[in-house]
Amino acid sequence: MLAAVYGAERVERMGDLAAHIAAHARIAHPAQAVPTELHPAFSRMGQTAADMADRVGELVSGPAQGGHAELVAADEVLDRLHGEVLAHVTASSWGHGPAAAASLALVARFFERFGDQAVSVAKRLEFAATGELPR
């Protein structure tokens, strides 16, 4: 029961983070929220986060064993991409200004935290399924 309550809170947070990401795109509209040179990184972050959310849904409705390790691996991709975005927006060659850098750093952080929440849900689901807390 506690795993379900804990997981529900994390899933709700994932939704909040997704809404924050969407709000940044909406605020920038009709301009692009992400400069062309960062499209690949943000596209990969979006796809990875969506895949993680899908996997959490599968773990909720099916066997949870092994899901934690899968999501940890996906979260490492998000962590790496987050670092790449931060390196790019803080480089001396960044030409889009400090406001864009701050906005993109924040959106990248939202993706990174989204992944962390998915991992947390998978950890609790695996614990409920196996009785052992995954590492």
Helices 39-61 & 67-89, crossing angle to 10 degrees?
A: 160
User: Residue 69 is encoded by which pair of tokens?
Assistant: 């390790």
pLDDT confidence bin for 130, thresholds 50/70/90: confident
Alpha-carbon Rg for the chain in angstroms:
16
- With contact defined as beta carbons under 8 Å apart, do 50 and 118 qualify? no
Q: What's the sign of the alpha-carbon dihedral 83, 84, 88, 92? A: positive
CB atoms within 10 A of CB 32: 11
Tens of pLDDT, residue by residue over 54-107, are 999 999 888 888 899 999 999 999 999 999 999 999 999 999 999 999 999 999
User: What number of CA atoms fall less than 13 Å from residue 28's CA on the CB side?
Assistant: 16
pTM: 0.93
C-alpha distances out from residue 82 to 38, 42, 89, 109, Å:
11, 9, 11, 7
Helices (H), strands (E): how many in the chain?
A: 4, 0
